[in-house]
Amino acid sequence: MKPHYSIPIAECNEPLVPIPLKRFAWVSPHPYLALGAPYEGKSPFFVRRTVLERLFQAQSYLQQQRSGWRLQIFDAYRPLSVQQFMVDYTFQTVVAEAGLDALTLTEAERQEILERVYEFWAAPLVDPAAPPPHSTGAAIDLTLVNEVGNPVEMGSVIDELSPRSYPNYFVDSVEIEEQHYHTHRELLWESMAAGGFLRHPKEWWHFSYGDQLWAWLVQQTDLENSAIAQYGRAEETARSV
């Protein structure tokens, strides 16, 4: 169990609302839908109402720093069925890349691979006290596009299972190109912070507001702050895009 699951949840029952994609850039086709993830008619482009309001604030800040740039939405709301699908898919991908056979893995090999997967993917727990962040409608994965709509280079792709995904991986690099990667990651972080979001410690692309991870991060930066989560697992009512 990750430490943020110790944070209590006081569900506010705020509804999921659609992200108006005309206001943002977005990845199309949606990467998990393209893999066959079982959304069952629900849309990944939903968040809680306050989260959307704060997303507008974040993009406004970004455009004050870089005219014409936009946030590009990669993923937002994720039903538990999709979380399970992506954990399983990632596990199988790691197994294949290692040249192994899932049917003949030793228990030690299986646990080693699961540990790697769960470093970046939340376990698809059904326990309402420990919801995966994306199932709450409070977490969002995103990046930046420039004034002509091209993705800004961040130094690694979203969902990459490697230390390059850590937000500050390039902070001490003396390579000019890698310094640009870090500058772009910082701009994304500053923009999202302007909306009140906090960043996942190991994922440059993952931000949240109001969930358990957000509250736990608040407490880490201010030990006297007893922040709690206001969003638990959302009612799965997000309609199809």
Residue 53 tokens read as 């309001």
Backbone angle region of 225, left / alpha / beta, with phi > 0 → left and psi within -120 to 50 → alpha: beta
112 belongs to the catalytic site: no
* Whole-number Å distance between alpha carbons of 150 and 225: 40
What φ, ψ does residue 198 adopt, rounded to 5°?
-120, 150
* Whole-number Å distance between alpha carbons of 116 and 106: 16
* Whole-number Å distance between alpha carbons of 135 and 77: 6
- Contact assessment for residue 69 and residue 63, using Cβ atoms and an 8 Å cutoff: yes
- Contact assessment for residue 231 and residue 12, using Cβ atoms and an 8 Å cutoff: yes
Residue 27 tokens read as 């990845």
**Quick one: which H or E segment has residue 70?**
strand 70-75
Half-sphere exposure of 234 (CA within 13 A, CB side): 28
From the list 119, 203, 224, 235, the catalytic residue is 203
Q: Where are the alpha helices (DSSP H) in the chain?
A: 31-35, 49-65, 80-97, 107-120, 176-194, 212-221
Residue type, 143: T
| Residues designated catalytic | 203
